[in-house]
Amino acid sequence: MKTHVTLIFLCALCMNLTAQFPQKMSYQAVIRDTGGKLVINQTVGMRITILAASFPPFTVYQETQTPTTNANGLVTLEIGGGSGFDAINWGHGMYYITTETDPGGGNNYTISATSHVLSVPLSLYAKTAEYAKTAEYAKDPEVWQYAIGLYNKIENLTKEIENLKEIIGIGTVSDIEGNEYRTIRIGSQVWMSENLKTTKYKDGTAIPNVTNYTTWWALETGAYCWYNNDIINKNSYGALYNWYAVNTGLLCPQGWHVPMDTEWTTLTTFLGGEAMAGGKMKETGTAHWASPNTGATNESGFSALPGGYRYYSGNFSNVGITGGWWSSEYSLGEAWYRGMFYNNASVSRLNHFKGYGFSVRCLRDL
């Protein structure tokens, strides 16, 4: 099966102030198959070749690695561990980097990406330009102009990297407390791939943490809790919010929002409909979901987790069994949410009392 490697960014590390650097460069890429499906949590074989930009091009360096993709299909590796990398004269001529991959982890490679190596050694440019600023080199106007040119290249290449990340939709976003969330593009939408865990609205106002069962039942204002009132569940499952907190419009970071009911439908429709979308959205395995975690492939990268819920009466239930995520819309006094379950691959469109506590995923504004 042919595998596509989507380039996110390349940067040089471990520099010297000579032409023969970098000694290592980090590399990240998203691996998808020909159908656009993420290759997730899987060891892949990769061959990385650096070519001199002559005619015809010739190989100046090559190495192989077997990295493992994460839940978003992302591989991270360092290039330069083999013999001959430190002998590349980055200061003269142009180079290209070619990656070949075998999703099975072997050496049945498919050429999948080639990039101009000028998008790699940003630190090379920065160091050279910094060195040119010293008293000795600043006397030479040609060197000074060269340094300015290098800084301009850094700026342009940084913009290219940001554009690529924007296209791919993989990145991070932080809430007002500094909690960082991974993000993923699914179709035309960009979602958080983790549950919200903020304890403050985006205007800085604290959200009440209501632990008492009777108090929770009587609420008609925003509140949150941790499952079983135990903060140990924060990192894995995030917080459970009542719908009144959702309705403030202040839960998600600036530029993000709690999805409307129709926006959830856009997502599940893109993933083939409610009957199968859950499998494509659930985290694989049984580290969090109870067995058998039916149909879970997480090929969308959404990484849904079974955070359970809190009844409007204040009791907690179904962690590991069920995940529920609020929408921002309601009907006849009850609010819409989406549910996923350990024993099927569907996504259910349901409604419940606004006093229930469910998880929240944020969607980036258009």
Mean pLDDT of 216-245: 97
Q: What are the distances in angstroms from CA 207 to CA 132, 217, 231, 245, 358?
A: 52, 16, 15, 8, 15
pLDDT at res. 354: 96
Q: Tell me: the pLDDT tens digits for 150-204?
A: 667 777 777 776 666 666 667 899 999 999 999 999 999 999 999 999 999 999 9
Q: Please check whether residue 239 is in contact with residue 198, taking contact to mean a CB–CB distance below 8 angstroms.
A: yes
Contact 150, 129 (CB under 8 A): yes
336: nearest Cα among 318, 323, 348: 348
Report pLDDT for 103: 86
Element (H, E) at 164: helix 141-168
Is residue 26 classed exposed, middle or buried when 0-12, 13-18 and 19+ CB atoms within 10 A define those classes?
Answer: middle
pLDDT at site 125: 43
> What are the structural domains, with CATH classification, of the chain?
3-120 (2.60.40.10), 172-364 (no CATH)
Between 287 and 129, the more confident residue is 287
Which tokens in the block code for residue 218? Answer: 């009587």
Find, among 104, 1, 95, the residue nearest to 48 by Cα: 95
Which carries the bigger pLDDT value, residue 17 or residue 43?
Answer: 43
Q: Which residue has the tokens 């691996």?
A: 31
Q: Which range has the top average pLDDT, 7-16, 52-61, 97-106, 303-312? A: 303-312
Torsion angle of the four alpha carbons 231, 237, 243, 244, in this order, in degrees rounded to the nearest 10: 30
Q: Of residues 109 and 94, which shows the higher confidence score?
A: 109
What confidence category does residue 131 fall into, taking pLDDT thresholds of 50, 70 and 90? Answer: very low
pLDDT value for 195 = 98
Reading the block at residue 355, the tokens are 């006093």
What's residue 173's pLDDT? 94
pLDDT at site 187? 93
Q: Tell me: the pLDDT tens digits for 220-229?
A: 999 999 999 9
Q: Is the peptide bond before 22 cis (omega within 30 degrees of 0)?
A: yes
% of the chain at pLDDT higher than 70: 79
Tens digits of per-residue pLDDT, 249-264? Answer: 999 999 999 999 999 9
**Which pTM does this prediction carry?**
0.63
Residues 6+ apart with CB under 8 A from 155: none
Residue 127's pLDDT band, with cuts at 50, 70 and 90, is very low
Cα(172)–Cα(66) distance, integer angstroms: 25
- pLDDT value at residue 185: 92
DSSP character string of 167-189: HH--EEEE-TT--EEEEEEETTE
Query: For residue 95, what pLDDT is reported?
Result: 80
Between residues 110 and 108, which one has the greater pLDDT?
108
Residue 261 has a pLDDT of 97
Least confident of 130-139, 145-154, 299-308: 130-139
For residue 218, is pLDDT > 70?
yes
Percentage of the chain beyond pLDDT 90 is 57
N- to C-terminal Cα distance for the chain?
34
